[in-house]
Amino acid sequence: ERRYSWLLTVRNTSELSPPNPQASVDVVVFFRRGYGAEDETIYSMTQTGSSNKYDVDWSGGSKPFLKRGGWLLDTDNGRWYRIQEISENASSARLTLEGNAPPVKIQNACFMRGIVDVYPIGTKP
């Protein structure tokens, strides 16, 4: 039985600090991670009001795994964000992300089950 697993996300951060190309790496630890396509569904995000509030809509599709204190992956930019608050209705939810506003706008996100924590390892040239 595979109880724990992990993955690395590596993102190019040179757009935030040109002209020196750099890569930032995060380790994500899972407990009993699912490996089906439905476990990595991508949802559209819309920024609302405050810069750390986003709406996610799943009308016509399956509801994402939303959990206060859980994580979302910005699939366009390879960044992880912790969910601080969730205000949910039948086919959408408004999420408040922990901390300051993301440095880039989130347009698409994935909500994976079983994340224990996300550990930033650092930035390398």
CA distances from 69 to 13, 52, 84, 116, 118 (A): 25, 15, 6, 10, 12
Residues in a beta bridge with 5: 30
CA-wise closest residue to 77 among 101, 95, 41, 104 = 104
- Kindly give the confidence (pLDDT) of every residue in the chain, 125 residues in length, as a single tens digit, with 9 standing for 90 and above: 689 999 999 998 766 666 777 889 999 999 999 888 888 999 999 999 778 999 999 998 999 999 999 999 999 999 999 999 999 999 999 999 998 888 889 999 999 999 999 999 998 87
The whole model's pTM is what? 0.89
Q: Show the tokens assigned to 4.
A: 């724990």
Task: Produce one character per residue of 52-83: b if its CB has 16 or more CB atoms within 10 Å, e if not.
Answer: bbbebebeeeeebbbeeebbbbbbebbbbbeb
pLDDT score, position 17: 61
Domain housing 39: 4-124
Helices (H) and strands (E) in the chain, counts: 0, 9
* Residue type at 118 in one-letter notation: V
Q: Show the tokens assigned to 67.
A: 């959990």
pLDDT score, position 32: 93
pLDDT score, position 33: 92
Number of domains in the chain: 1
CA distances from 125 to 14, 28, 62, 76, 113 (A): 9, 21, 40, 21, 32
